[in-house]
Amino acid sequence: MNPVHPMRPGSYVLSSGFGQRANPVTGVQEGHLGVDFAAAVGTPFYAVADGVVVEGGERADVDGFGRWVWIDCQASVGRDLIYGHGDPLVCAGDAVKAGDLVGTVNTHGQSTGPHLHFETWTAPGRLGGRAVDPLPWLAAAGEPVSTGGKSMKPDYVELDRMGESASSRHGAQVENFLLHTQEGDGTAESLANYLNNPANGVSYHYTVRDGVVVDVVDTDLASWSVLDANSFTINLCFAGSRVSWSREDWLRIRDDIRIAAWLAVQDARKYGFSTNVIRPPYRRGPGISDHRYVTECLGIGTHTDVGAGFPWDVFAADVADFTHSTTIEEDGMPSAEEIAKAVWAHRPAKPDGRTDATAGEMLAWTDQHAGHTLDQLAGPGTKDDPSRDLDPTRWDFLADLSVPEALGVLGQRLGIEGFRDPRKGVSKG
Ligand SMILES: [Zn+2]
Ligand SMILES: [Zn+2]
């Protein structure tokens, strides 16, 4: 069989090849037994071929790798695969198909930054075999997309039990998909029955348990889940779940978590909001999150579900898998647009009290502030004198040099290789 690539196109940069190199941490020359794909923390990686997991999430102390996924694919392609430094989403004994999600990128172990270290070993495998360069082998590899495996729609039964416990959205746009716990022992259907009694005053769009999805409220309408946030949210409740659940408890309903991710992605597409997973520590914005986000980030209500044990990494990887997104946005990392808006919102008030701005005004304001930083390097007043045409004024206490120029002079005097006095124009050699 042909292998598929361990990562999606555009989700990584090849940062180190196979063979002899200096160890990036110790500086010692050694053989590099794999290749490195640099990528953001949380970027999914996939099984390259059909196989069986030898070691995965159950081990957390793999020398040098921190954590790894080791897959025996001798039967399908005659190789063992090693995925280093990441967060495994499979465990020893799991059978995987080519293209299955097996983990996400991190920087565990001996690593200078987030990347996937990927090795391939010939027969008989990681023990006794030989590490070979994966790149020639992967040159013909396809994309790790749905192969009949996990990237496809998960199996579930969907029941239509839409009732009266709903309100108009009053024209609000849907911005968030939110997860909830039940704090009870119901099934998807028994919880739906309870919600469908309007006298109980609570409802969700979906209840989910054991591969059953019950539609309780039409997503064009608001459910009664999150008080003032109802109008712009879609709400899903894991029937039988509790806010006190540990990660282990949640992983027992691994399949339901994946179903929730699938429903969230479908609704994000339908209503045009972001599939960004907003997890603790939260950051306000459109995307997929939980009830505690509404409490902590929007300041509405007091509920804390789904709770601290929820496996956000697993859920976010599922969401990324269904969106085929190349990276998962880092937690708390605002977009350039959000930074620009925040900067503008915190500028000194205009004398005329205006709050709008033209692009020209924003650029001028940025220039005014960045200008102070440039002055430190180039000398004072560079930007204030148009006749200089951006030529730095330099500093009189640095012998009329800019800071970089002064560094060159100092470096040359100290005999540092490559430093030179820029006033002389050429290197003294
Ligand atoms: Zn490496
Ligand atoms: Zn809730």
139 C-alpha to center of ligand 1: Å?
18
Q: Is it the case that residue 151 has pLDDT exceeding 60?
A: no
User: Over the Cα atoms of the chain, what is R_g?
Assistant: 28
Query: In the predicted model, what is the mean pLDDT of residues 397-421?
Result: 87
Question: Quick check: 112 pLDDT over 90?
Answer: no
Which one of the ligands is nearest to 112 CA? 1
Strand, coil or helix: 71: strand
Say how many residues make up the chain.
Answer: 429
Query: What b-and-e string marks burial along 334-349, b requiring 16 or more CB atoms within 10 Å of the CB?
Result: eeeeeeeeeeeeeeee
Mean pLDDT of the region 324-345: 50
pTM flag (> 0.75): no
Q: What's the CATH code, domain 13-138?
A: 2.70.70.10
Exposed, middle or buried by CB within 10 Å (0-12, 13-18, 19+), for 394?
middle
- Residue 55 CA, ligand 1 centroid: distance in Å: 18
Q: Which ligand is nearest to the CA of 238?
A: 2
Q: How far is the CA of 341 from the centre of ligand 1 (A)?
A: 39
Of the listed ligands, the closest to the CA of 229 is 2
| Ligand 1 center to 83 CA (angstroms) | 9
| Vertex 342 angle, CA 339 and 346, to 5° | 140
Q: How far apart are CA 387 and CA 59, in angstroms?
A: 66
Q: Ligand 1 being an ion, which residues bring their Cβ within 5 A of it?
A: 36, 117
Q: Greater confidence, 96 or 375?
A: 96
Helix (H), strand (E) at residue 80: strand 79-84
Single-letter residue type at 290: D
Per the prediction, the chain carries an average pLDDT of 85
For residue 341, name the pLDDT band (cuts at 50, 70, 90): low
Tokens in use for 152?
């496809």
The helix (run of H) or strand (run of E) holding residue 72 is strand 68-73
Q: Ligand 1: distance of its center to the CA of 117 in Å? A: 4
Q: Binning pLDDT at 50, 70 and 90, where does residue 209 land?
A: very high
Higher local confidence (pLDDT), 294 or 22 = 294
Phi, psi of 21 (to 5 degrees): -165, 170
At residue 406, what are phi and psi to the nearest 5 degrees? -60, -35
Q: How far is the CA of 303 from the centre of ligand 2 (A)?
A: 6
Q: In the prediction, which pLDDT does 354 show?
A: 54
Instruction: Please tell me the least confidently modeled range out of 173-187, 333-347, 368-382.
Output: 333-347
Q: Which ligand is nearest to the CA of 82?
A: 1
Tens of pLDDT, residue by residue over 298-327, are: 999 999 999 999 999 999 988 988 876 433
Residue 16 pLDDT > 50, yes or no?
yes
Q: Ligand 1 centroid vs 281 CA: distance in angstroms?
A: 30
Is the pLDDT confidence value at 34 over 90? yes
Ligand 1 centroid to residue 32 C-alpha, Å: 6
Residue 361 has pLDDT above 90, yes or no: no
Question: What is the model's pLDDT at position 429?
Answer: 38
Give 114 Cα–ligand 1 centroid separation in angstroms.
11
Residue 226 Cα, ligand 2 centroid: separation in angstroms?
7
Residue whose tokens read 């009830």 = 291
Q: What contacts 46, CB < 8 A, 6 or more positions away? A: 4, 5, 6, 7, 8, 98, 99, 100, 101, 102, 144
pLDDT, tens only, 258-293: 999 999 998 988 898 888 999 999 988 999 999 999
pLDDT above 90 as % of the chain = 53
Q: Is the CB of residue 184 less than 8 Å from the CB of residue 305?
A: no
pLDDT above 70 (res 330): no
The dihedral of CA 86, 87, 91, 97: what is its sign? Answer: negative
Domain locations in the chain as residue ranges? 13-138, 157-323, 340-347+349-423
- Confidence band of 227 (pLDDT split at 50, 70, 90): very high
- For residue 308, the CA-to-ligand 2 centroid distance in Å is 14
**Ligand 2 centroid to 362 CA: how many Å?**
41
| Strand 115-121 relative to strand 51-55, pairing | unpaired
Task: Give the pLDDT of residue 91.
Answer: 84
Choice among 25-34, 135-144, 344-353 with the minimum mean pLDDT = 344-353
Class at the top of the CATH hierarchy for domain 157-323 = alpha beta
Task: Give residue 324's region: left, alpha or beta (phi > 0; psi -120 to 50).
Answer: left
